[in-house]
Amino acid sequence: MQVQKETEVQSSGMPTAVQLAAINAQAKAELTGEQVYVFSLRLCDDQVDRDHERFDTAALPQLAKLFIGKTGIVDHKWSSDAQVARIFAAEVVKEENVSFIKAWAYIRRGGRADEVIADIEAGIKKEVSVGCAMGFAMCSICGGEYGNCGHQKGEYYDGQLCCAVLKEPMDAYEFSFVAVPAQRNAGVLKGFGNQRCLKELAEEFGAQAEYRQLCKMSQLGLQYRKELENGVVRLCLALDLGAEKDVLQNVVEKAAAEDLMKLKGALEEKFNQQMPVVTQLGGCGGWDEEIESGFLI
């Protein structure tokens, strides 16, 4: 699942000697302390956020490593390397009961980068959006996979608040500065894979009518599919192909709709060829009882 969180620039300035060595381990060309501007970021922590999610404390060290070397867009008009910041160090810091990833990033000074640096200094470019991919979301109530256990984030169960604990760091993505304060309450951009349902998205973007229309159409589609399956099973039974009804049902459930349509066409043709014979033999008693009412072919 993709996770996107907001974070903050904390401190900034000239790099230390140790930092400069770390920067040069990432940079293409050898840089001097005067050429770079360093700032630190507080990335993910292990506290429950407003989405009722938190990063697993034990997952933070691995996640910190994944952020090293990741770049950030600091200027939407970016046209050269100067507008790109790069994380050169990240570690887990524990303050009281909170563990968080502290990352350090650098920007090459000069040109438009200086404007970006001035914005960071002035606090204008203060908020940063970071993204990562986590392999597992655990329900804090039952320890099962969140989304499959029935518990809901933000709900209380026996006085305990349910949250999703994000585990198994898989990847970290580029970060970007977000406009302040425009997106303050606009919601953090979070692609949450299968945990973010279409209904929620429709509500968020005012597409409820379209969503309802789609639901209706999909219901009709499902109904058609079911009728198609039933039709094929009935024809197979009517033609006495030798397979049990249960077996036939299992087969048609797994078949693609296109194949079912073709199969139904072929079976119908065969059925029509055999029908006169069946009639001559005195009716269709052998398969009549298998036909459910309302689905007569």
Contact residues: Zn ion, CB under 5 A: 139, 141-142, 144, 149, 151
Report the alpha-carbon distance of residue 207 to residue 191 in Å, rounded: 18
Cβ at position 5, least distance to Zn ion in Å:
22
Report the alpha-carbon distance of residue 115 to residue 267 in Å, rounded: 73
Cβ at position 91, least distance to Zn ion in Å:
32
Query: Residue 228: how many CA atoms within 13 Å on its side-chain side?
Result: 21
Backbone angles phi, psi at 269, to 5 degrees: -60, -45
Quote the DSSP letter at residue 38: E
Cβ at position 55, least distance to Zn ion in Å:
18
Report the alpha-carbon distance of residue 74 to residue 125 in Å, rounded: 8
Cβ at position 144, least distance to Zn ion in Å:
5
Q: Which is nearer to Zn ion, 164 or 237 (CB)?
A: 164
Give kind and range of the element (H or E) at residue 99.
strand 98-108
Report the alpha-carbon distance of residue 253 to residue 44 in Å, rounded: 44
Q: For the chain, first and last CA: distance in Å?
A: 46
Query: Residue 191: how many CA atoms within 13 Å on its side-chain side?
Result: 8
Which two structure tokens, joined as six digits, stand for 119?
């914005």
Cβ at position 49, least distance to Zn ion in Å:
18
Q: Which is nearer to Zn ion, 86 or 153 (CB)?
A: 153
Q: Which is nearer to Zn ion, 69 or 154 (CB)?
A: 154
CA torsion 197-199-200-202 (nearest 10°) is 120
DSSP 40-61: EEEEEESS--TTSEEE-GGGHH
**Residue 152 vs residues 26, 52, 88, 141, 167: alpha-carbon distances, Å:** 42, 10, 38, 9, 18
* Residues with Cβ within 8 Å of residue 187, at least 6 apart in sequence: 204
Cβ at position 164, least distance to Zn ion in Å:
9
Q: Which is nearer to Zn ion, 151 or 264 (CB)?
A: 151
Cβ at position 134, least distance to Zn ion in Å:
17
Cβ at position 114, least distance to Zn ion in Å:
51
